[in-house]
Amino acid sequence: MGHMHSLTKRQWVLLALLTLVWGLNWPVLKLGVTGFPPLTFRMLCLLIGTPVLGLGLWVMKVPFRIPRQYWRELLVLAIFNMFIWHALIILAVQYLTSGRSAILGYTMPIFSALIGALVFHNQLSKRAWGGVFAAALGVVLLLWHELANLSGKPVGVVLALVAASTWALGTQMLRRTAIPLPTLTLSFWMTAMTTLVIAVLAFVFEFDRWQEPTPTHWAAIVFNAILVFGFAHAAWFYLARVLPPVASTLSVMMIPILGVFSGAWALNEILHWQDWAAMALMVVSIASVLWPSKPANSEKAEGASTSQ
C-alpha cells in the first residue's frame, strides 16, 4: 500500500512538475486550437515532441529496440493510452472552455476505478463507490450547464468523457503490462505511433484548412511538444507503472483545479457556480479513491489501492 510519505524525492519532483505542466496546458491548448485546426495543431506538437523525447532517450542511453513479440501489445497500449485520447480531447477543447475540458478529461481516475472493479474484478471500498457517485454528479452538473445553454456543445462533453474512459482503460492495461522494457522505451514508441495516426487524421480531415501558425499558435505548439510530449507523458507512464495506484494518480487531484483557475485567469473564462460545484465534487471523488486509508484499516486500504 503506497502511503503519501512513501514517495521518493524524485517521484515527488516528477509529480509536482507533471501537475504543473498538465494543469497549465489546458489554457495553452485552448489558445492553440483557437482559429487553428485542432488535429493539425496536435500533429505539429507531436512532430516536434517525438524527436525531443527520442533525444532524451539517446542522452540517457535508454534502448530503443522492442522485440517483435511485444509489438502487438504495444500497439494496443498506444491505442488506449494515446491514439483515442489525443484525437478526441483536442476536438473537445474546441467546444468547451479549457477549465471544463480539464475537469472532464480528469474524470479518468474515476473511470479507472470503475474499470478496475468491473473489468479486472478489483474490490472497491464503499468510499471508492462514493467517489464514483460524486464524479458522476459533477459531470451531470457540467452537462446541465451545457444543455441549459442552447448554444452549448454537449458533443464536447461526450468527446472528453470518451477520451477519459479510454485513457483509464489504457492506464489499467499499462499497470498490468509484462513487457520487460523501460517505460521510456514504451513511451517513445507510443508517441511515435501517435504522431503517425494524428498526422493521417489531420491530413484526411483538415488538409483544406492547413495554414501558417501565428506566433501564439507556435508558442502553444512548442509548449506542448517539449513539456507535454517531451516530458509529461514519459513522467506519467513511469509513475503509472512504478507507483501504487494511490500515488501515481495523486497528481491528478490538482491538475483540473490548476486547469480551471489558470483558464479563468489567462483566458478570462467565466466561472459559473456549476463549475465550482463540479470541481468540488471532482476533488471529493478523486480524494475518496486516492486518499490513503488509516493504517488501522490497512486491509481495506490495500483493497482501495489495487482498485485503481
Assess whether pLDDT exceeds 80 at residue 226: yes
Q: What is the mean pLDDT of residues 66-94?
A: 96
Instruction: Say how far apart CA 83 and CA 192 lie, in whole Å.
Output: 11
Q: What is the reported pLDDT for 195?
A: 98
Q: What is the reported pLDDT for 247?
A: 55
Which residue has better confidence, 201 or 104?
201
| Confidence at 304, pLDDT banded by 50, 70, 90 | very low
Q: What is the mean pLDDT of residues 149-171?
A: 84
Instruction: Say how far apart CA 93 and CA 108 lie, in whole Å.
Output: 16
Q: What is the reported pLDDT for 21?
A: 95
Q: What is the reported pLDDT for 78?
A: 97
Q: What is the reported pLDDT for 205?
A: 96
Count of domains forming the chain: 1
Q: What is the reported pLDDT for 273?
A: 86
How far is the first Cα of the chain from the last one, in angstroms, to the nearest whole number? 12
Which residue has better confidence, 276 or 85?
85
Encode pLDDT of 167-178 as tens digits.
Answer: 999 988 998 898
pTM: 0.84
- For residue 299, how many other CB atoms are within 10 A of its CB? 10
Q: What is the mean pLDDT of residues 54-67?
A: 95
Cell of 201: 487524421
Encode pLDDT of 101-119 as tens digits.
Answer: 888 888 888 888 888 888 8
Instruction: Say how far apart CA 258 and CA 264 lie, in whole Å.
Output: 10
Asked if 193 and 107 touch (Cβ cutoff 8 Å), the reply is: no
Q: What is the reported pLDDT for 6?
A: 62
Assess whether pLDDT exceeds 50 at residue 302: no
Assess whether pLDDT exceeds 50 at residue 33: yes
Instruction: Report the range of poorest mean pLDDT among 34-48, 102-116, 242-256, 264-278.
Output: 242-256
**How high does pLDDT run on average in the chain?**
85
Q: What is the reported pLDDT for 227?
A: 96
Q: What is the mean pLDDT of residues 120-135?
A: 80
Q: What are phi and psi of 47, to 5 degrees?
A: -65, -30
| Confidence at 68, pLDDT banded by 50, 70, 90 | very high
Closest CA to 245 of 133, 108, 101: 108
Domain ranges, residue 189:
4-306
